Amino acid sequence: MITLGLDIGSVAAKGVLLAPNDSWRVVVPTGWSPRDTGQQLIDELTRLAGLERHDVDAIVATGYGRISVPDADKSVTEITCHAKGLTHLLPQVRTVIDIGGQDSKVIRLNESGRVIDFAMNDKCAAGTGRFLQVMAQVLGMDVSDLADAEDPSETVSINSMCTVFAESEIIGHLAQGMSRGGLIAGLHQSVAKRVAGMAARIGVVGPVAFTGGVAKNSGISRALEEELKAPLLTPGDCQFTGALGAALLARNL
């Protein structure tokens, strides 16, 4: 069976095509039209796999833009798709922390990989990838360079939770000549504290996995491990967990 999973996120759209003996992955910026982006992923994935659209048996869409993909056979919530993808990659995991562009989630799983509880922050940019993108811009760098540039030995605590106030706080600290590496470590600590607080509400049971685009930032992993006092497992394709779960769920259609 050939299936396709699409995770149309707020920042990045991810697609996974699963064939019996092979798989393909594509990530593109979501842009302003989730509908066009979904179509772009389908076209790109089938092209890479040397297939036609009619060769694909089923498509499941997830993420913010999941209802905007007319070609999808079904849309499924992000929590279900992330749990499915993660259980496939790391079946031993009991807690998943996923930090994306516009929300962060904590998902508790039982031994069979079923979701037993979850918490989600989707009302505020604090504790999300968007917060880091805004701060990276203020610091004149790309979000992918934050981890290498941090200096945890000089961590400057960021007091403002709100993204707008935190931006002013960073500008003020830069004007006072504080080290950029210390400020970045402080931003990582701020995101980690916020997410760890949310995780504490539903309880963290190990082993714990860290997924989502923000899991590519090893500075956030470090800070989260400090806050949770637990090691984190990060799957190699951490940003594709939801899309993989969607492609796996499509096999049941």
Distances (CA, A) of 135 to 92, 131, 185: 35, 6, 12
89 membership: H or E segment, kind and range: helix 78-89
Based on CB atoms, which residue is closest to ligand ADP, 101 or 182?
101
Token readout for 50 is 């040397």
CB of 166 to ligand ADP, least distance (A): 15
Based on CB atoms, which residue is closest to ligand ADP, 2 or 13?
13
CB of 68 to ligand ADP, least distance (A): 14
CB of 145 to ligand ADP, least distance (A): 8
86 membership: H or E segment, kind and range: helix 78-89
Based on CB atoms, which residue is closest to ligand ADP, 30 or 95?
30
Give the single-character DSSP code of 240: G
Based on CB atoms, which residue is closest to ligand ADP, 40 or 51?
40
State the burial class of residue 216 (Cβ atoms within 10 Å of its Cβ: 0-12, 13-18, 19+). Answer: middle
CB of 49 to ligand ADP, least distance (A): 22
| Residues, the chain | 253
- How far is 118 from 109, CA to CA, in rounded Å? 9
CB of 125 to ligand ADP, least distance (A): 10
Based on CB atoms, which residue is closest to ligand ADP, 10 or 121?
10
- Contacts to ligand ADP by CB under 6 A: 9-12, 63, 100-102, 129-130, 132-133, 143-144, 212-214, 216-217, 239
Based on CB atoms, which residue is closest to ligand ADP, 182 or 242?
242
Annotate 57-71 with DSSP letters as a single string.
Answer: -EEEEESTTGGG-TT
CB of 177 to ligand ADP, least distance (A): 26
- How far is 244 from 246, CA to CA, in rounded Å? 5
CA R_g for the chain: 19
Are 2 and 17 in contact by the 8 Å Cβ rule? The answer is yes
